A and B are shown apart, each in its own frame.
Chain A
Amino acid sequence: MSQFKINVNGSEHSVDVAPDMPLLWVLRDVLDLTGSKFGCGIGACGACTVLLDGSEQQSCQIPVSAVGHRKVTTIEGLSKDGNHPLQRAWIEHDVPQCGYCQAGQIMAGAALLKKNPHPTDADIDDVFASHICRCGTYQRIREAIKAAAGVAK
């Protein structure tokens, strides 16, 4: 075990864990931030997606020892009261079915909109090709991202 200091959702946390423990399990098991989901553990589904200094990062693919000073944002920290444009669009477009993958989808969308406020369909395809929704909510994900981006349908 080793001590690591990580910044999650604006707060500094000191954790005493194995250096190879993926960030996902630090968030879920140690910090009780269970919004980021385990779906495969090999970076193939996107359910664990968080932001690392604002960019998309699959939290199952980065050991806690590699996080360093970068700022981690999870779904719990995306907005203060659930009013990020994507969160509002997700509710309005009734995107979730089982809902399990949606935190990862929203975080991927947040990273996309941050660097590309008006994504095209092709831009959306590029990002979401690595995100699985087993319930098949894809069409509503696309619609919600466009709505949040203020892009006309």
Chain B
Amino acid sequence: MRHLPTHSRSNQGGGGGGKVSNRLDISRRSFIQIVGGVGASLALASFSSLACADLGGAKAAKLKKGVVFAPNAFVKVDPDGLVTVSIIAPDAGQGSRTSLAMLVAEELDVDWHNIRVTQAPTDSAVYGNQGIGGSHTIVSLYQELREIGAATRAMLIAAAAKTWEVDPTTLKTAKGHVISADGKKSVAYGDLTAMAATMPLPTVKAELKKSEAFNLIGKGATRVDNPDVVTGRAKYGLDVKVPGMVYAVVARTPAFGASIKSFDDSATKKVPGVLEVVQIPSGVAVVGTNTWAALSGRQALKIDWEMGSNADLNSAKITEAMKAAVEPHPDMPAGSKSVEASLQFPYLAHATMEPLNAVADVQEGRCTIWTGSQQPTGHQKDVAGLLKIPVEQVTLNVMLLGGGFGRRLYDEYIIDAVNVSKAIKKPVKLMWTREDDMKHDNYRPACFCSFRGAVDGSGNPVGWSHQAIQAGMGGRPSINYDIANASNKGHTVRIGVPTGPWRSVENTLFNVANECFIDELAHASGKDPFEFRRALLKDDRLRKVLEVAAEKSDWSKPLPAGHGRGIACFHGYGSYAAHVIELSIEGNKIRLHKATCVVDCGIAVNPKGVEAQMQGACTDGLSTALRAEITIDKGGVVQDSWTDYRWMTLDAMPKVEVTILQGGDSPGGMGEVGYPSVAPAVANAVFAATGKRVRKFPIKVEELV
């Protein structure tokens, strides 16, 4: 059995083969306060006192002996010159382990190939909130991590200055070396670690590089985990194995709000490899010596369910309830041409590629977890609360996340694992199957958007009323267009289907609906949908991405019959995006030809990562525009797996072209901005190709009106 590293607080041993400079004192605290700019919360532990998870499993090379310079909880410099950056943001595919390390490497002046990353222990006392959501990772850490890199560099310079007995302000750095003013002397960072560890901590902030001097930021790096991913060494939650571990799956309710009347596990207990059957709050857990035994045992369970209050709930009733909540729209100005439309959205599952799972080892007074979590500090607290133990007694090891999209902001799967481990007094790997995941998500709400708008005799919009009725969540729409007296209302109807944030959250509904309806107003005004939008946009950066999307997509060039182009844009998370989709329709089949994606996220720290996020969000947009939906019947989810929750596959993808603009001098969020203008561009392209409007997602040609 493979032993995985844990974050042991008592581990004061050094990293690699070296001895660690471990100076926990008041001056360290001030170093972090000044340098980190994130307060005393970061100050209390040095990096090297916290053994960190190795998500790759590759064997560490034998390191040179000597002092490891670890001035703060984020950075350590080994005697061989390798710099390890501690990553506080879980990586769900957004590339945080790469882009955050780039920020430190940039200011520290270290070659990228000498950078290593390690996942930080979950510890809000040291690192603050370690969650990922709202596209904030780079935005919130851009300044701090560069400052930490710069301060670490300043200490290495001070060490060289002391060695050479020169003024530190005369020294330069490049490629992991401190260099003398005349360029004649050079010393590697690795040879300075012992001296650097004795240097006083900086009392003033080190100066940051000007953006013209960046070597890494804006240039891009390939992902740090690629070598482990392509060889199968990368460790996700589901890959964890700890000594004595058993495996569990849970038989879950067939309807939301259903409960167990009774169950018969006699057949289950005869399945070879089944060890125990225990009831936990979410259902009946079957524990086995391996995953297959647990799955086979679950198959043999007989459960009598009390179906509960949602037993008769179905999608038609939910749609009816949403439509019933629409209030009368205001009257449009006299003499104007009025347009009415509606758009219906289904529930969506997150369907992360790696089904939800956690390994939990509950012992007397403490608990250790290995899992993929988007909210490790919050989930650590939840576990502590459940077990009624101090949060310090919960060690939560963040593994790689096989996708997040908002799903792993929730921790039912971790709670399941803790409940089972507590009940059976063994470490357990608890896995949700794909079907469990599909049927027990916190879904992107279904929604019904109702519009009334108007244009005057000159084709100018003179009225706009949008009511968005969500089956769950909440929020009120807004628009990016300059239309007088625009009315935007949001209502929520309470339905027994759990909902939660899904990549771009309410923008997956409101912006999609807005961008479809503005297209209808453009048509009513007799104007080109691009020019119509352009004239009404209030924001210069948004107008620019729209213009570039039109240009890159050859917007004004004619298309063959049966083809159509649609355009849409979005502003959110501090970034701007626009899309043009070109498609054609043959019979009832929609064929995608090209997706032109433009983004302005200010500084693109890692352009390769930005491009990847745009490509991925485009795939999500196309999948949900054309294929995926969650429907409800008898109080539960109809869909089981990828066979009926259909996602885009490579063969159906158009050519996706991404253009990155820099319209600002700080980074904006990238995880979500690329989604909300894809589906409306598809719907508008369908109209351009057919003259018929989309009233319901996912788009079915036979349902166009």
B649 to chain A: closest residue by CB: A129
Does A61 count as interface, using CB distance less than 8 angstroms? Answer: no
Q: Shortest beta-carbon distance, A50 to chain B, in Å?
A: 11
Q: What are 20 A-B pairs at a CB distance below 8 A?
A: A18-B292, A28-B291, A32-B1, A33-B232, A34-B235, A42-B643, A45-B353, A45-B642, A87-B231, A91-B222, A91-B227, A97-B95, A97-B612, A98-B92, A100-B353, A100-B403, A103-B230, A128-B651, A132-B642, A136-B618
- For the complex, what is the distance from the CA of A126 to the CA of B650, rounded to whole Å? 9
Does B615 count as interface, using CB distance less than 8 angstroms? Answer: yes
With A40-B642, A125-B651, A126-B651: A134-B353 Cβ-Cβ less than 8 Å: yes
> B434's contact among A35, A39, A106, by CB below 8 Å, is which?
A39
With A35-B232, A98-B401, A140-B612: A135-B353 Cβ-Cβ less than 8 Å: yes
Q: Hey, which chain A residues are within 8 Å of B433, CB to CB?
A: 41
Q: Mark A121-153, 1 if CB is under 8 A from B, else 0.
A: 000111011111111111111100000000000
Q: Hey, which chain B residues are within 8 Å of A82, CB to CB?
A: 227, 230-231
Q: State which size class the interface on B falls in.
A: 35 or more
A76 to chain B: closest residue by CB: B232
* B272 in contact with A136 (CB, 8 Å): no
Q: For chain B residues 329-358, which have a beta carbon within 8 Å of chain A? A: 351-355
A106 to chain B: closest residue by CB: B230
Q: Mark A16-37, 1 if CB is under 8 A from B, else 0.
A: 0110111001001110111111
B92 to chain A: closest residue by CB: A98
* B641 in contact with A40 (CB, 8 Å): yes
Question: A interface vs B, CB < 8 Å?
Answer: 1, 17-18, 20-22, 25, 28-30, 32-42, 44-45, 47, 74-76, 78, 82, 86-87, 90-92, 94-103, 106, 124-126, 128-142
* B355 in contact with A38 (CB, 8 Å): yes
* B291 in contact with A103 (CB, 8 Å): no
* B648 in contact with A91 (CB, 8 Å): no
- For the complex, what is the distance from the CA of A140 to the CA of B650, rounded to whole Å? 10
- For the complex, what is the distance from the CA of A87 to the CA of B233, rounded to whole Å? 13
Q: Hey, which chain A residues are within 8 Å of B236, CB to CB?
A: 37, 100
With A33-B232, A42-B643: A131-B649 Cβ-Cβ less than 8 Å: yes
* A87 in contact with B642 (CB, 8 Å): no
Q: Mark B201-238, 1 if CB is under 8 A from A, else 0.
A: 00000000000000000000011011101111111101
Which of A44, A76, A97 gathers most chain B CB within 10 Å? A97
Does B604 count as interface, using CB distance less than 8 angstroms? Answer: no
Q: Shortest beta-carbon distance, A93 to chain B, in Å?
A: 8
* A135 in contact with B653 (CB, 8 Å): no
- For the complex, what is the distance from the CA of A64 to the CA of B649, rounded to whole Å? 29
With A82-B231, A97-B616: A129-B651 Cβ-Cβ less than 8 Å: yes
- For the complex, what is the distance from the CA of A45 to the CA of B404, rounded to whole Å? 17
* B615 in contact with A139 (CB, 8 Å): yes
Q: Hey, which chain B residues are within 8 Å of A103, CB to CB?
A: 229-230, 232
Q: Shortest beta-carbon distance, A27 to chain B, in Å?
A: 10
Q: Hey, which chain B residues are within 8 Å of A95, CB to CB?
A: 226
With A25-B291, A100-B236: A42-B434 Cβ-Cβ less than 8 Å: yes
With A44-B641, A44-B643: A90-B612 Cβ-Cβ less than 8 Å: no
Q: Shortest beta-carbon distance, B701 to chain A, in Å?
A: 21
Main secondary structure on A side of the interface with B: loop
Does B608 count as interface, using CB distance less than 8 angstroms? Answer: yes
With A75-B232, A98-B354, A99-B400: A138-B226 Cβ-Cβ less than 8 Å: no
Q: Shortest beta-carbon distance, A84 to chain B, in Å?
A: 8
Q: Hey, which chain A residues are within 8 Å of B405, CB to CB?
A: 134
Does B619 count as interface, using CB distance less than 8 angstroms? Answer: yes
- For the complex, what is the distance from the CA of A70 to the CA of B553, rounded to whole Å? 50
Q: List 7 extra interface pairs beyond A28-B239, A39-B354, A99-B225, CB under 8 A.
A: A29-B291, A74-B232, A96-B230, A99-B234, A128-B649, A129-B651, A134-B405
Main secondary structure on B side of the interface with A: loop
Which of B93, B95, B229, B352 gathers most chain A CB within 10 Å? B229
Question: B interface vs A, CB < 8 Å?
Answer: 1-2, 91-95, 222-223, 225-227, 229-236, 238-239, 241, 247, 272-273, 290-293, 295-296, 351-355, 400-405, 431, 433-434, 608, 612, 615-620, 641-643, 647-653, 655-656
* B403 in contact with A32 (CB, 8 Å): no
* A137 in contact with B612 (CB, 8 Å): yes
Q: Hey, which chain B residues are within 8 Å of A100, CB to CB?
A: 236, 353-354, 400, 402-403
B91 to chain A: closest residue by CB: A98
Please name the 10 residue pairs, one residue from A and one from B, whose CB atoms are nearest each other, closest first. Answer: A35-B232, A136-B619, A98-B93, A100-B402, A125-B651, A97-B93, A75-B232, A99-B229, A136-B616, A34-B239
Which of A75, A129, A134 gathers most chain B CB within 10 Å? A134
A100 to chain B: closest residue by CB: B402
> B226's contact among A17, A21, A96, A139, by CB below 8 Å, is which?
A96
- For the complex, what is the distance from the CA of A94 to the CA of B99, rounded to whole Å? 13
- For the complex, what is the distance from the CA of A47 to the CA of B352, rounded to whole Å? 12
* B650 in contact with A124 (CB, 8 Å): yes
* B292 in contact with A21 (CB, 8 Å): yes
* B612 in contact with A17 (CB, 8 Å): no
* B616 in contact with A39 (CB, 8 Å): no
Q: Hey, which chain A residues are within 8 Å of B291, CB to CB?
A: 25, 28-29, 38
Q: Hey, which chain B residues are within 8 Å of A86, CB to CB?
A: 230
* A35 in contact with B651 (CB, 8 Å): no
> B230's contact among A32, A33, A90, by CB below 8 Å, is which?
A90
Q: Hey, which chain B residues are within 8 Å of A129, CB to CB?
A: 649-652
B231 to chain A: closest residue by CB: A82
A121 to chain B: closest residue by CB: B651
B404 to chain A: closest residue by CB: A98
- For the complex, what is the distance from the CA of A35 to the CA of B231, rounded to whole Å? 7
- For the complex, what is the distance from the CA of A135 to the CA of B389, rounded to whole Å? 37
Q: Hey, which chain B residues are within 8 Å of A22, CB to CB?
A: 292
* B290 in contact with A99 (CB, 8 Å): no
Q: Hey, which chain B residues are within 8 Å of A134, CB to CB?
A: 351-353, 403, 405, 647
A21 to chain B: closest residue by CB: B292
* B272 in contact with A99 (CB, 8 Å): no
Q: Shortest beta-carbon distance, B217 to chain A, in Å?
A: 17
Q: Shortest beta-carbon distance, A64 to chain B, in Å?
A: 9
* A133 in contact with B353 (CB, 8 Å): yes
* A137 in contact with B615 (CB, 8 Å): yes
- For the complex, what is the distance from the CA of A95 to the CA of B354, rounded to whole Å? 17
- For the complex, what is the distance from the CA of A86 to the CA of B353, rounded to whole Å? 21
- For the complex, what is the distance from the CA of A125 to the CA of B652, rounded to whole Å? 8
Q: Hey, which chain A residues are within 8 Å of B647, CB to CB?
A: 132, 134
* A37 in contact with B649 (CB, 8 Å): no
* A125 in contact with B247 (CB, 8 Å): no
Q: Hey, which chain B residues are within 8 Å of A96, CB to CB?
A: 93, 223, 225-226, 229-230
Q: Hey, which chain A residues are within 8 Å of B615, CB to CB?
A: 136-140
